[in-house]
Amino acid sequence: MPVRAASIADVRAATGAVHRRVSPAPLVRSYALERALGLSEGRRAWIKDYGWTPVGSFKVLGALNWVARNDERIGSRPIAAHSSGNFAAGIAFAGRAFGKRVIVVMPDTAPETKFALVRSFGAEVRTYDIARDHETGERDRLTREIAEHEGAVQASPYDDADVIAGNGVGGLEIVEELKRQGREVSLFVCQVSGGGLMAGHALAIADGFPGARIVGVEPEGADDFKRSLAAGARTRLDHPDSICDGLLSYDVGEHNWPILHRLVESAAAVADLDTRRAMKWFDLSHGLRTEPSGAIATAALLSGAVPLDGSGDVVAVLSGRNVDPARFREWIADV
């Protein structure tokens, strides 16, 4: 089956499905980040904070659009999906909004915060051994079995045009707010895992600010997208490893890759230590407790992994804030 690429028209069409159920996540000017980066007078730094959504991450955007677009096909059947946790919460929220039963497959090591959040929206959770999944393929097998044996419709956390379009609504929010203020963006920095977040946002940012550099960010131990850009083709990483549990996909999706390859200029790989430092910086500078995956885009700026050039504003995505308090305190200690 040919891959259906999402377009900026799809992103605009998704706005209604998303905004009927969730308000735009705040785009916050960070004076602290402007100082830390030494931005020249007139330049501003902005953080798009998806921690304020009802599921604590951006994943609800794509999930809502996917369920809205597939409502008739799903009918009375359940929805099945695999997720490290944030899409699980997003699809659980969307399923409840549309009156659907949701079954999600999550790694046994997912933060308790994410398990609790998913269950709070009424979804059923089944777990797999993530340490051996690269050998066993248990995650995909369990999800397929739910679809086959329970008649479920399977939702991809990132490799789907409707999910990409829904995620892109957040990018439209960025564009519309900054254009309203008469701003110009020269650098947009965003996490890349399976690519659903970045693909949707890249469509919106490239359309609204065609001169902006769009840069992807990954952990050093899970840099399949950076390798893909270098190779000019999707590259699989068999055993990604990082504290960024939400950024451990094996490769970017088929639906995501054409968009990423066309619109994302480069990718930066960030050490977990720098991500932990950014988590502490968020805590001290903004009073925010962030998950590692959420902080890594800002970590790329603070560590210098993404060079600053141009004269416009800088925008970084804070993709999620679902982290266990004890682990958060452990990660920010002594950094």
Mean pLDDT of 207-220: 98
For the stretch 227-254, pLDDT in tens is: 999 999 999 999 999 999 999 999 999 9
* pLDDT band at 307; cut points 50, 70, 90: very high
Q: Is a pLDDT exceeding 90 seen at residue 84? A: no
Q: Is a pLDDT exceeding 80 seen at residue 3? A: no
Q: Is a pLDDT exceeding 80 seen at residue 2? A: no
**Could you tell me where the DSSP H helices lie in the chain?**
8-19, 31-37, 59-74, 86-98, 112-120, 133-136, 138-150, 161-180, 196-208, 224-231, 257-263, 272-286, 292-302, 325-332
* pLDDT band at 97; cut points 50, 70, 90: very high
Mean pLDDT of 109-135: 92
Cβ–Cβ under 8 Å, residues 45 and 37: yes
* pLDDT band at 289; cut points 50, 70, 90: very high
Q: What is the model's pLDDT at position 287?
A: 98
Q: What is the model's pLDDT at position 131?
A: 87
Q: What is the model's pLDDT at position 4?
A: 78
CA distances in angstroms from 161 to 130, 210, 255, 288, listed in the order given? 27, 22, 6, 32
3-state DSSP call for residue 154?
strand
3-state DSSP call for residue 189?
strand
Helix, strand, coil percentages (3-state) for the chain, rounded to 5, are 50, 15, 35
Cβ–Cβ under 8 Å, residues 277 and 335: yes
Is the dihedral angle over the CA atoms 6, 11, 17, 22 positive or is it negative?
A: positive
| Burial letters 236-263, b for 16+ CB under 10 A, else e | ebeebebbbbbbbbbbbbebbbebbeeb
* pLDDT band at 20; cut points 50, 70, 90: very high
Of the candidates 13, 322, 2, the one whose C-alpha atom is nearest the C-alpha of residue 164 is: 13
Strand 102-107 and strand 266-270: the pairing is unpaired
CA distances in angstroms from 38 to 31, 71, 309, listed in the order given? 10, 48, 12
Q: Is a pLDDT exceeding 70 seen at residue 31? A: yes
